[in-house]
Amino acid sequence: MKIKWYGHAAFRITTGKEIRIIIDPYESGAFNGALSYGKIDEEADIVLISHDHADHNYVKNIKGKYILIDKAGEDDTLGIKVEALETFHDKSSGRERGRNLIFVITADDLILVHMGDIGHALDGELLKTIGKVDIVLLPVGGFFTIDATEASGMVTELAPRVIIPMHYKTDKCGFPIAPVEEFTKKQANVRIMDKAEIEISKKTLPANPEVVVLRHAL
């Protein structure tokens, strides 16, 4: 499985059978230019949208005849299982920022979880439903989502082998959110990559949990 970070919460997952999953594509230049990552104009077979905000739902530039998943439920398509779990974008049951989907993706004998813009802690029922996690794509910037401290607690609860932070402040994101260092300084095993894509298989999962910081592609 290849995992490419475009920027913000947007990723492309490419399976061993070359199925392309694009998650949470943003609108380049959204919010009066505050989000200035470049356009995502690649092909996809599956597109996942965690919630209906411009920095997560922009599909106009996505190419191909893709399957769109933007509602809670289970889908088993193209040999990939996707479970979309309904959560909230805030700590007040969605009254501030609405709903959010967590995506649990099973492919290539790996379980990858994209947390969307999760804004609250996970209760026991959610943790049980998510189950075992190999890779988690986790917001860490705070303000609109969980912050670095809350994300660290979620890592402890989920116990993934690979943690890829997302939704934090960069040179392309002018939102009032924290940089990734606020999260990584709380972690014991951090690898800073000078590239936007990493390949992971069941065999190459690290023995101990590892934070992998990717460089945004766009």
Hey, which residues does 150 pair with through a beta bridge?
A: none
Sign of the dihedral through C-alpha 122, 162, 85, 74:
negative
Q: Do 104 and 21 contact (CB within 8 A), yes or no?
A: no
Pairing of strands 210-213, 99-107: unpaired
- Report the CATH number of the 2-213 domain: 3.60.15.10
- No. of helices (H) and no. of strands (E), the chain: 3, 14
User: What is the structure's pLDDT at 177?
Assistant: 98
Question: Digits of tens for pLDDT over the chain (218 positions)?
Answer: 999 999 999 999 999 999 999 999 999 999 999 999 999 999 999 999 999 999 999 999 999 999 999 999 999 989 999 999 999 887 877 677 768 999 999 999 999 999 999 999 999 999 999 999 999 999 999 999 999 999 999 999 999 999 999 999 999 999 999 999 999 999 999 999 999 999 999 999 999 999 999 999 99
Q: Following DSSP, what letter does each residue of 165-203 receive, concatenated?
A: EES-BBTTB-SS--BTHHHHTT-SSEEE-SSSEEE--TT
Backbone angles phi, psi at 3, to 5 degrees: -120, 115
Angle ∠(118,120,126) on CA atoms, nearest 5: 80
Q: Do 117 and 89 contact (CB within 8 A), yes or no?
A: yes
Domain extent listing, the chain: 2-213
User: What is the structure's pLDDT at 89?
Assistant: 83
Half-sphere exposure of 140 (CA within 13 A, CB side): 28
In terms of pTM, does the model score above 0.75?
yes
